[in-house]
Structure 1
Amino acid sequence: MITDKLEKHLQLSIDWLIKSKQPSGGSSAYHAPLLGWIKPYPETTGYIIPTLIDYHHYAEDQLAIRTAVDFGEWLLSIQSGEGYWFAGQHPPKKQEPSVFNTGQILFGLISLYKETKDSKWLTSLDKATEWLCSSIDRNGYWKEGHYRGFNPTYYSRVAWPILLASTVLDNDTYRNKAILVLDTLIKKRNPNGTFSGWGFDEHGSAFTHTIAYTLRGFMESSILINDWESYGAKTERALQKFYTLSELNNGRLDGEYNEQYSGKKTYSCITGNFQIALCLMRWYEKNNDLRLMNSASKLIEYSVKCQTSTDSILSHKGAIPGSKPFWGRYMTLRYPNWSAKFCADALLLFLKLYKKESDRWDIEES
């Protein structure tokens, strides 16, 4: 059955994420054949937490929830007095605050508070959100804490958790700051639906990883404020393009695209494939267009084939590479923890929708 196969991949991804936990705390940023597990990464540890909690509810997996709490405890222990987390892996080479890392950790704190109702997660969340919002200027830009020295459009994925935090904390100031950021970033949309600055560089090509960050941030923010037209609708042209590209290539997207949708065909960004699939499924939940689910299923099917099924000297069972082929330009020769995270997220959402609507989809199981 299709669900049995997908659940096996899901279990492998979760097991690998649990295995990525380091003795010092946190999830290793990636596993590499020659280096093994490397230092933990606060940013991705933060947004892996809700994945583990979601899986706990899906499969009643107690180790998943214990690992999520352990990851959260570690994040509390390394939070700065001002409320932010440092850039990069921990311990960092340079102690520089990070807007994006801090924003992604909000996801974990919110999930842990909702799960446990322990006020320590709320205290940390408020401190982190206060730092993020106090750093936004009147034009909707952050003044510090950048990865590459500018405000990329994928900061829409920072506005999204701030909106979530504003709801949990009942703080309209935070909500208004997030909307200010979104209003600034949405202006970077090009007539063809792409966004300037949606990659790690202000101009040029962007990995599908950061493209999906950008689109998902706008989509989820629109859903939270119940205003699809302002932001969510502005992603539809790009989503339609990636839907079409996925269909034409049987679930494979190029690893990166420029602002004219010209792709880098030498590799595929596996992480980005899962993330684009998530965007298509979230859009499907909005408009019930079955073609979107078909495209998402092809992206997932293409990408899960990259998952390792056995332990070897190269990787641990369940690892998912950054690129296909393994030497592709995104996370070259590495198995990042966020590949496994977004694989699990995509599978959890697909399985949820499948079990809810399989009769209407009329999918033949095999």
Structure 2
Amino acid sequence: MNWVEAAHDATGHKGVSAGYELNHGWQQTYPEISGYLVPTMLRAAQELDRPPLAGRAVEIGDWLRLLQHADGAFPGGMGVDGEPVVFDVGQIVLGQIALARSGHDRTAALDSAGQAAQWLCRAQRPDGAWLSHFGYPNTYSTRVTWAVAEVWRETGDPELLRTVERSLRWTLTRVQPDGWIDGMAFDANLTPWTHTIGYALRGLLRTADVIGDELGDLGEQAVAAATACAERLAGLVSPLDPLLPGEIGPGFTSTAGYACLTGDAQMVTVWLDIARRTGNDGLRARCAAVVDLLADLQLRQPVEPAAVGALPGSWPLSGAFEPLAFPSWATKFLADAVFALADDERE
């Protein structure tokens, strides 16, 4: 979290930097990442007894609301001038909802989330899919579904629930008999990173929890799909063990010789969620081993002082996911993984 504070300072407190590159230094501010760092910062403020982290989260939320367009959307990509992107808007919504529930600017944060959720409803295709920034109908946008579901839980707006239902029904049509879920990559021509796989599975699990039995057994089907895929991933044999290959394709195949550390951190949260549902102690043991290794790979030596505390995008550093860089989302998901493991141990 010291490094997250540094990434906030690097932008002059106008959001959080996208990350730190060894060859180029600090990157531009990134509204999407700033948005979904908010829940992590609020949690860390409590767990670490560091109230200033909550103050920074509130500051980020205020800044994001200043960027919000009249139609409810937010700028997409790095910087503040990009065209709105469905996924990015959804992640900012998760941050605003977290602020609303924390008691900080509840009315303003909830109003912002509601406007953005309405924009997401309008952006959804009639079949229930959302498009990536490449114009590709994808399943990693279940994290957007989750965001809309959270706003529904706060507002009770039936249109939001119908949007969630359409998304889940479409996503479930992408589930294959072996447990693989099609559409988890950023583009149809790409093999999914474990990062986007983690997005897809986490979105399914959290959406299911938010809607409960409101949509019949649709939530149960979502959990079953995420569980089947996650358990197949846990069964992969990898030379990077306990880390997963950075890219995994249909049939749970991979030729990648590097790990996408962001995805490994995300999968800890997914696997622990499933372990709590199923009692699978093997998944718990794997998660502890992954977190231990990620902590070892977190930069600690002041060879590059601005990166101390951050997690690399890939291991080795030259891997294809954010090579020679420390993306802010990698460090965010490492913190989330640590909190998830702590929660599981307390139970």
Fold-level similarity (TM above 0.5): yes
1:230 aligns with 2:221: yes
Q: Deviations over 1:251-307 (max 9, x none)?
A: 121001110211133100000001111100011121222111011112222222210
Query: Which sits farther off after the overlay, 238-247 or 333-342?
Result: 238-247
1:139 aligns with 2:127: yes
Asked if the contact 1:251–1:301 (Cα under 8 Å) also holds between the matched residues in 2, the reply is: no
Asked if the contact 2:153–2:210 (Cα under 8 Å) also holds between the matched residues in 1, the reply is: no
Q: Deviations over 1:88-134 (max 9, x none)?
A: 11133xx4111000000111100101112521111111111111112
Q: 2: distance between equivalents of 1:304 and 1:117? A: 32
Q: Spell out the pairing of 1:122-161 with structure 2 (5 A cutoff).
A: 122-142=110-130, 146-161=132-147
Asked if the contact 1:219–1:232 (Cα under 8 Å) also holds between the matched residues in 2, the reply is: yes
Q: Spell out the pairing of 1:24-173 with structure 2 (5 A cutoff).
A: 25-92=14-81, 95-116=82-103, 118=105, 119-142=107-130, 146-173=132-159
Q: Spell out the pairing of 1:1-366 with structure 2 (5 A cutoff).
A: 14-21=1-8, 22-23=11-12, 25-92=14-81, 95-116=82-103, 118=105, 119-142=107-130, 146-226=132-212, 227=217, 228-245=219-236, 250-313=241-304, 315-356=306-347
Q: 2: distance between equivalents of 1:246 and 1:169? A: 45
Q: 1: distance between equivalents of 2:65 and 2:297? A: 34
Q: Equivalent pairs: percent with the same residue?
A: 27
Asked if the contact 1:196–1:202 (Cα under 8 Å) also holds between the matched residues in 2, the reply is: no
After TM superposition, give the deviation of residue 24 of structure 1 in Å: 5.1
Asked if the contact 2:260–2:315 (Cα under 8 Å) also holds between the matched residues in 1, the reply is: yes
Query: Which sits farther off after the overlay, 217-226 or 48-57?
Result: 217-226
Q: Which structure 2 residue ranges, 5 or more long, are not aligned? A: none
Indicate the structure whose relative CO is greater, using CA pairs within 8 Å and at least 6 residues apart: 1
Q: Secondary structure at the match of 2:20?
A: strand
User: So what's the TM-score if we normalise by structure 1?
Assistant: 0.88
**Match of residue 359 from structure 1:** none
**Match of residue 5 from structure 1:** none
Q: Deviations over 1:160-189 (max 9, x none)?
A: 111011111221210111111111111111
Question: Aligned residue pairs: how many?
Answer: 339
Asked if the contact 2:272–2:341 (Cα under 8 Å) also holds between the matched residues in 1, the reply is: yes
Q: 1: distance between equivalents of 2:135 and 2:305? A: 35
Query: Which sits farther off after the overlay, 321-330 or 133-142?
Result: 133-142
Closer, same or farther: CA 306–197 of 1 in aligned 2, 3 Å: same
Asked if the contact 2:129–2:138 (Cα under 8 Å) also holds between the matched residues in 1, the reply is: no
Asked if the contact 2:148–2:164 (Cα under 8 Å) also holds between the matched residues in 1, the reply is: yes
**Match of residue 11 from structure 1:** none
Q: CA RMSD in A?
A: 1.7
Asked if the contact 2:35–2:93 (Cα under 8 Å) also holds between the matched residues in 1, the reply is: yes
After TM superposition, give the deviation of residue 38 of structure 1 in Å: 1.2
Asked if the contact 1:55–1:64 (Cα under 8 Å) also holds between the matched residues in 2, the reply is: yes
Q: Which structure 1 residue ranges, 5 or more long, are not aligned? A: 1-13, 357-366
**Match of residue 360 from structure 1:** none
Q: 1: distance between equivalents of 2:190 and 2:180? A: 12
Give the partner amino acid of 2:195.
H
User: So what's the TM-score if we normalise by structure 2?
Assistant: 0.93
